[in-house]
Structure 1
C-alpha cells in the first residue's frame, strides 16, 4: 500500500510539473491559460508570435501578444504588439484566461473578477488560435464552415502589424511610459475630415501636431475626398492610407518582421528586425525627425531642444521650475507672481525660441514696440512671438495666452519675448534650466503583493520527501493540506482587491503602532477621524479611522477599488487600507499644509495661491466627471476636503460620500439620502430633484466665493443667517454697485490681487451657483473659462 501511495504522489508531482511548462496551438471550450505557468502560451504555427501572460510590474500581469524572439539575449521584456488589459493588470496568482462553454473568452483576475472579455456567444465548437500574422482569432465551426467571432486585429492598442488595418473605428494609443503600459496622451486616428492624424490629448489641452496643423489638407498632401478611412502597412515596408498619405521604409522590398507603433513620446515609427543573429529592432521610418515638433512633450512653460548626439532636452523657461522631475508632461511653474499691470512688466528676449499655438492676437506687419504694447494691454498675455516673414519681407507679431509647445531651433527666424515682472531682473541673466530626457520614462507605481511559488508544487515536493512514512500519516497530511488550501483560497478571495487596486493591506496593529495608539488627531468628518502616523518605511501618512463599519469586507473593498482606478495630480493618493474584523481604516499621503479651510481661517493664503487652488480643483473635478471610465460624483466639495501639499497644490480628498454612476442615466435616482455639508449643498438635494454632476459644480462655486470673500457660507453676513444662498445673494447685491470688488474681497488679499482674474473668478463662481442646474456650466467649461480668461460666462 505504501508503494502505491508513493507512485500516486510521484505521478501527481510529474503531472504538476508538466502542466506548468506547456504550450499549445489553440484554446478550446472549457480550457484556460494560467498566469502561474510561464510557458502556458499559445504559439502561432510559424512560431513568430506568442500569446500569454507577461509581467509588467511587481506581481502585475497583462495578457498580451508578443514576438516570440526577444530583441537581444539580455533584453528580458518581450516586444508586445497587443494587450487585452492594459489599464487593469491582473495578479500573478490564480489569474487565468478562459474560453467558457458559452463561447465567451474571459480574463479572470484573482478571486474570479472579470477584467476583460471578448463579449462573444456561441453554442457550437469554438477555438482560439494565434495566426502567423499575429492576429489572435476566435472561430466557431458549424457544418464544416468557420465563422469569425472575434479577432485582436479589430482592437489594436499601440501597434499595427503588417496587414492589420486602421479604420474609422480603430485608433492607436501610446503607452503612458516605457514602463507603464496604460493608455498615454498620444493617438493615431482618422479625423472627421477623413485625414489620418496624430494628436496630443493631454490632461488639460488637445492639439493635432501631424500633419503640420498650419497646413490645409491638400498642402500637406492629404485628400479629404474619401470615405473609406483605411490604412495599413504591408510586409515589404509600404504604408498606404485612403487620404493619399503613403511612405516606404528605408529597407523597403525585403520581407522582414515589422511593426508600426506610436511610441510614448508621441512619434509614429516603423520598427524592423535585423535579419541576423542579433535580432535587434531598428527604426526604418518615423513621422517626425525632430521630436520637439511633437506637442506636449515637455509640458507647459518649457522649451524643447533636440541634438542628434545627446537626444531631446526639456528646459524650463527662465523664472520657472519643473513640477515633476520624473514626468515632464506636467511642465514647469512660474517662480514669480504674474501681474496684469503693464507698468510693472518687462520682457525677456529668447532668440530662436518658438511657442506654437494659443495666439490671443495676430498682427502684421508691425514694429517690436507695437507688439510690446499689444501684450502689455492684454491682461492674459504671457509673452509674444516676433518673427520675420521671408516671403513678404516684414515682421509678424503673435501674443500668447498660454506658453505651450515651446521649442528652440536655430532655423526659426524669430524671437520669443517672455513677460516677467520688472523687479525680477535676475531672470534676464538666467539661462534655461535644462535636463536631458527621453521624456516617457515615468512609471506610475503599482504595488502588488505577490507570491509566485505554487503551493501545490511545494506540497507535493514535501510529501515526496516524506513518503517513507506510514500510509495513514500520508493520507492525514493530504487531508490537512486540502482543508488548509480551501481555507487559504477563501481568505485570498477577500484579499485579492489589494492586487487589482495597487494598495497595500495593513494590519490593525501596524496602523495602531504607526499612529502611536491613534494619539495625534489632525481631522474629523462625518465618516471618521484622521490621525497623523509614520509608517514602517518612515513615510508620513494620514490614517483615517472610519466609524464602526456596518458593511462587510467585500463591500468595503469594492468601494475602495473605485479610488484605485483614479489617477490625477490633484487627487489625494491612497497608499493602503485595513479591513480587519470591525476595523476599517484608509491610509493616505500626508499633506504638510493641512486643509484649505485651515489656511482660509488663518489668513495665510495670498491671491496667487488661491487662484492656483481654484484651477487645481477645477481640473480634478473635470477629470472625475468627464475623463474617468466611470462617472464619479464627489458629493461633498468643501474647503475641509481640499488639502494642500508643501507647494500649496490642492488635493481633493474624502470620498466617503462619493458616488459612481452610469453616464447614460442622467436622471439617476439611486441616492437614498441627502449627501454633503450644510452651506455647500446644491438645491437639488433639498428639492428632491435628479442628482447629476452639477451638484459638485454648485459646491465648487460656493468654495470659490469663500476663497474670494473669506466668508463662510454658514456664517452671519450683514446680520442675517446664511444657509445655501445668503452668501450668493450678498455677492450678487454687492456686484450691482460701483467698486464692487473692493466690498467683497477678503481683507487678507485686498491689496494684492489681479483685478482681471478676480472678476473672472467671481463671474465663474456665480455661474456655478445658479439655482437651475441646467444653467450651470460643466466643470470642463469652468476650467476652460478660468484658463482662457475670455468671455463673461453669464
Structure 2
C-alpha cells in the first residue's frame, strides 16, 4: 500500500512538472515542442517563451505577450530564435547543455540554432519582466540575452546599437526574414533600407539629404537608440518619435512591419487590441519596393495603399507584389518603332541613366530613344531654378513609382508604336494591407482508424515531406545569409539608393573565376573581368593594401555609390573583408581612352564627343553631386568607353571626398596623380582645389588633339620633361590664346592620323580649351562647368 502511495505521488508530481510553466531552465534540462505548456514565463506573467507554430508541422522558439486566451493565432510575437529555419512538430527541443550552450535541435537531432556559449559554473535560462530571455551563471554573469539579437521588434529599454538590426517579417503569415531593415549606418545615422534579392536602396531618411539637412547629427559615434516605457523612441543622431498616447499605456512595442514602415504600438492591458500610436513614414508609398518594378503605388487615407501596373504591363505573380509587373508586349529598342505615352504626376525614384538640366522635351525624348535600355524618361520642372527650367531623367529601371499631386513633372513611358492604341486603359488596383490581415494556414488534423502499416506509411510520407520543407527553408536561409554581409562584419550594412550592394569576397572570387582574367592594372590595384550571379558583366578592381580604415573605406564607397551620371562609371558595390578591399563596376566593352589613342582607332568626331562627355562627368563631380569629389588622377587610362564610345570617368572618389561645407578643410599627405598629368600645385605644396582636375583634363585633351603622350611627346627636347608637350604646343601656335589664332597654325600640331580630315574650328576650340586648362596660375583656369559650356555652345553652333 505504501509503495502504491509513492508511485501515485511520483506520477502526480511528474504530471504537474510536465504540464505547467517553468520559471527557469537549468543545465541538463529541455523544453519540448510536443508539450504546449512546457514554456518559460516572466515573474509578472506578461511574457511567455516557448515553441510557436508558424505552419503545418513547423515551429519556432519564440517570445510573446501572454494573453488570457493563449492560442497561437492570437499571439503577439516579439522575438524568434529560428525564424528562417523552423523545426519539426515532433522530437524537437530547446536544451541547456551541461557545457553551458543553449541549443535548438530538430527532429533529426540536427543543431538548428545555438547561443555558442560555455560555462563551467551552474547556469540557467530565465525570462525577465522586460521580455528579455537571459542565460546567466549562478553569479549572475550574463552569457547571452535575446535583447542583443532582436528580430523585428524592440521592447521598452531594449537597445538598438551598431551591432543590431531590426528585420521585418516576409508577410503577415510568413515569419521568415523580409526585405526591410532598421539599422545604424556607418555614418552614425539611423536609416531604413529596402534590401531586395537583387536591389538595395535606402529610403529613409531621404537619400539625397545629408545628416545636417535632415536635422540629424553625426557627431555622436555611440550609435544607440531606445524606446522608454512612456513611449519615447530616441536615437543618438537626434531622431525622436513620440507616441500619441505618451505616458498612458502599460504595454508598448516598436516594430518594423512587412510593409517597410516602423510603428509604435501600445495597449492598456493584455487582451486589448494593439493601437498604432506613431510611425516613422507618413506616406507609405514613399517606401521602396512596396509594389515591385513597373508598378505604381497610390495612397488614400480612407482606403489605404493600393498597387497597380503601369499601362501595357501585367502583374507577374498575383500572390506577391514584390515581383511587380511585366510587359504584355515584346520590348524593342529600335528607335523608329518606339514612341512615348504620358503618365501625369507620376514619379519613379532612382535608377536614372543620368541627370540632364535645361533639356528641351525633344532633347530628352531623343536621348531616351538612343538608349536601348531606356524604359522611359521623367521630365520635371525644377521649382528652385528660374522659370521654365526643366530636367531630364532617362530611366533604365522603373522602380518605386507613386502618384503625387505635388510632383512637378510627368513620366513618359516608352512603348511600341503598334500597341499605342491599347494604352491609357484603366489599370486594376490591388489593396495592400500588411498590418492587420493575417493569412491563416490550414492546420486541422483528422484522426482515422487505419492499420499500423498504413499509419507507418503516412508517417513516413509526412516525415519525408517535413524534411524536404526544412531542407528548402535551410537552403533559402543560406541564400539569404549569403546575400547579406560577410560573416566578419555581418551587421555592417552600408547601401545607397541606386542598387549599391556589399559583396562577399568568396562571391567575387567565384564571379572572377579565381581572379583569372586580368583586364587592367594601375597604381591603385588590378582589375578583373567577372560575371555576377545576375549575369551582369562586371569589372572587379582589387585595391592594393592600404592603411585606410574600414570605416573610412565604407563611408567613401557609399558616397561613390550614390553618384549617378551618364559620364561616370557606375559602381555596383564593394567588398570589405579583412585586408580585402574590392570595388565592383560596370564593364566597359571598348576599354580605355589610352588604348584607343595608342591604336589610332578614334576619328576626330569621336575625340570631340569624348572630350565633351569627360568634361560633363568631371563637372558633375565638382559642382552637382552632394559631396565635393576630387578625382586627383584624370588621365586616358581612367576614361573608359562603352559600346557606343560614350566616355565614363573611372577611379574617382576614393582620392578625396569632402562635404561642401568643409571645402577649406583639405589635407593630402602626398602627391596624388600620374606624372605628366599632375598640376603645379602638387609640386609647390599649394592648396588643392578642383583646379588640379581641370589641369589634368587639359593635358588629356591636348593628347587627344595632337596624338602625343605627355610622357613620350616625341618633340624637340625641352627642359622640364613634365611639361614638354604643353610648351611644344604653345610654341608651335605662337602662344595663341584665341581660336582664330590657333586655327591659322593648327596643322603643325594636329594628330597626323587625321590625314587632314577634321573640323578645323572644333579642333581649334579644343586646343584653346586645353591651353586655358593648363595655365600655371590656377585662378586663370576655367571650371569644368565653364569648359562644358564652351564645348556645348560650339557643338550647337555647328549643328545650326
Tell me which interval the TM-score lies in, with the shorter structure as reference length. 0.5 to 0.7
- Kindly report which structure 2 residues correspond to 1:243-258, keeping only aligned pairs within 5 A, or say none: 243-258=237-252
The one-character-per-residue Cα deviations of 1:193-250 (angstroms, maximum 9, x if unpaired) are 1111000000111000001112121111111222111111111111111111112111
Q: Which residue of 2 aligns with 1:691?
A: none
- Kindly report which structure 2 residues correspond to 1:700-779, keeping only aligned pairs within 5 A, or say none: none
Q: Which residue of 1 aligns with 2:616?
A: none
Match of 1:229 among 210, 223, 226: 223
2:97 maps to 1:100:
yes
Match of 1:282 among 270, 275, 287: 275
Q: Measure, in 2, the Cα distance between the counterparts of 1:625 and 1:41.
A: 30
Q: Which residue of 1 aligns with 2:34?
A: 36
Check conservation: 1:177, 1:442, Cα contact below 8 A: no
The one-character-per-residue Cα deviations of 1:568-604 (angstroms, maximum 9, x if unpaired) are 9xxxxxxxxxxxxxxxxxxxxxxxxxxxxxxxxxxxx
Match of 1:264 among 258, 278, 284: 258
- Kindly report which structure 2 residues correspond to 1:416-427, keeping only aligned pairs within 5 A, or say none: 416-427=411-422
Check conservation: 1:240, 1:246, Cα contact below 8 A: yes
Q: What is the deviation of 1:378? A: 1.9
Q: Which residue of 1 aligns with 2:234?
A: 240
Q: Which residue of 1 aligns with 2:333?
A: 340
Q: Measure, in 1, the Cα distance between the counterparts of 2:507 and 2:358.
A: 54
CA spacing shift, 1:44–1:701, aligned 2, 3 Å: closer
CA RMSD of aligned residues (A): 4.5
Q: Which residue of 2 aligns with 1:80?
A: 77
Q: Which residue of 2 aligns with 1:480?
A: none
Q: Measure, in 2, the Cα distance between the counterparts of 1:255 and 1:164.
A: 17
The one-character-per-residue Cα deviations of 1:100-122 (angstroms, maximum 9, x if unpaired) are 11111111111322111111111
Q: What is the deviation of 1:149? A: 0.5
2:520 maps to 1:627:
no
Q: Measure, in 2, the Cα distance between the counterparts of 1:113 and 1:447.
A: 27
2:254 maps to 1:398:
no
Q: Measure, in 2, the Cα distance between the counterparts of 1:238 and 1:153.
A: 18
Q: What is the deviation of 1:442? A: 11
Q: Measure, in 1, the Cα distance between the counterparts of 2:175 and 2:237.
A: 30
Q: Measure, in 2, the Cα distance between the counterparts of 1:208 and 1:140.
A: 41
Q: What is the deviation of 1:366? A: 3.0
Check conservation: 1:348, 1:427, Cα contact below 8 A: no
2:411 maps to 1:502:
no
Q: Measure, in 1, the Cα distance between the counterparts of 2:191 and 2:242.
A: 18
Q: Which residue of 1 aligns with 2:371?
A: 378
CA spacing shift, 1:14–1:260, aligned 2, 3 Å: same
CA spacing shift, 1:432–1:227, aligned 2, 3 Å: same
Match of 1:139 among 124, 136, 139: 136
Q: Which residue of 2 aligns with 1:300?
A: 293
2:112 maps to 1:124:
no
Secondary structure of 2:336's counterpart equals helix
Q: Which residue of 2 aligns with 1:181?
A: 175
Q: What is the deviation of 1:429? A: 3.0
CA spacing shift, 1:792–1:192, aligned 2, 3 Å: closer
Q: What is the deviation of 1:271? A: 0.7
2:422 maps to 1:566:
no
Match of 2:153 among 155, 159, 166: 159
Check conservation: 2:67, 2:270, Cα contact below 8 A: no
- Kindly report which structure 2 residues correspond to 1:351-370, keeping only aligned pairs within 5 A, or say none: 351-370=344-363
2:293 maps to 1:437:
no
Secondary structure of 1:565's counterpart equals helix
CA spacing shift, 1:54–1:303, aligned 2, 3 Å: same
- Kindly report which structure 2 residues correspond to 1:53-64, keeping only aligned pairs within 5 A, or say none: 53-64=51-62
- Size of the alignment, in residue pairs? 512
Q: Measure, in 1, the Cα distance between the counterparts of 2:514 and 2:13.
A: 64
Check conservation: 2:84, 2:473, Cα contact below 8 A: no
Q: What is the deviation of 1:254? A: 2.8
Q: What is the deviation of 1:385? A: 1.1
Gaps of 5+ in 1: 459-483, 504-560, 569-621, 632-661, 669-680, 685-693, 703-731, 733-784
2:322 maps to 1:329:
yes
Check conservation: 2:52, 2:72, Cα contact below 8 A: no
Q: Measure, in 1, the Cα distance between the counterparts of 2:536 and 2:196.
A: 25
Higher gyration radius (CA): 2
Q: What is the deviation of 1:332? A: 0.5
The one-character-per-residue Cα deviations of 1:33-92 (angstroms, maximum 9, x if unpaired) are 11111111111011111100111111111100111127x899833101000000111111
Match of 1:170 among 138, 142, 164: 164
Secondary structure of 2:192's counterpart equals strand
The one-character-per-residue Cα deviations of 1:118-138 (angstroms, maximum 9, x if unpaired) are 111111111111111000001
Secondary structure of 1:182's counterpart equals strand
2:99 maps to 1:190:
no
Q: Measure, in 2, the Cα distance between the counterparts of 1:21 and 1:381.
A: 64
Q: What is the deviation of 1:371? A: 1.9
Check conservation: 1:136, 1:151, Cα contact below 8 A: yes
Q: Measure, in 1, the Cα distance between the counterparts of 2:144 and 2:466.
A: 29
Q: Which residue of 2 aligns with 1:410?
A: 405
The one-character-per-residue Cα deviations of 1:609-631 (angstroms, maximum 9, x if unpaired) are xxxxxxxxxxxxx9699539999
Which stretch has the larger CA shift, 404-413 or 147-156?
Answer: 404-413
Check conservation: 1:198, 1:208, Cα contact below 8 A: yes
Q: Measure, in 1, the Cα distance between the counterparts of 2:368 and 2:252.
A: 50
Q: What is the deviation of 1:427? A: 3.4
Q: Measure, in 2, the Cα distance between the counterparts of 1:430 and 1:790.
A: 41
Q: What is the deviation of 1:362? A: 1.6
Q: Measure, in 2, the Cα distance between the counterparts of 1:106 and 1:424.
A: 60
CA spacing shift, 1:22–1:623, aligned 2, 3 Å: closer
Q: What is the deviation of 1:166? A: 0.7
Check conservation: 1:188, 1:198, Cα contact below 8 A: yes
Q: Measure, in 2, the Cα distance between the counterparts of 1:791 and 1:397.
A: 19
- Kindly report which structure 2 residues correspond to 1:480-519, keeping only aligned pairs within 5 A, or say none: 496=463, 498-502=465-469
Q: Which residue of 2 aligns with 1:27?
A: 25
Check conservation: 1:173, 1:262, Cα contact below 8 A: yes
Q: What is the deviation of 1:295? A: 0.2
Q: Which residue of 2 aligns with 1:652?
A: none
Q: Measure, in 2, the Cα distance between the counterparts of 1:52 and 1:129.
A: 12
TM-score, normalised to structure 2, is: 0.57
Q: Which residue of 2 aligns with 1:527?
A: none
- Kindly report which structure 2 residues correspond to 1:667-686, keeping only aligned pairs within 5 A, or say none: none
Secondary structure of 2:172's counterpart equals coil
CA spacing shift, 1:52–1:701, aligned 2, 3 Å: closer
Check conservation: 2:250, 2:269, Cα contact below 8 A: no
Q: Which residue of 1 aligns with 2:43?
A: 45
- Kindly report which structure 2 residues correspond to 1:778-789, keeping only aligned pairs within 5 A, or say none: none
Q: Measure, in 2, the Cα distance between the counterparts of 1:51 and 1:222.
A: 37
CA spacing shift, 1:625–1:99, aligned 2, 3 Å: closer
TM-score, normalised to structure 1, is: 0.58
Check conservation: 2:257, 2:434, Cα contact below 8 A: no
Secondary structure of 2:61's counterpart equals strand
Q: Which residue of 2 aligns with 1:517?
A: none
Q: Measure, in 2, the Cα distance between the counterparts of 1:391 and 1:630.
A: 43
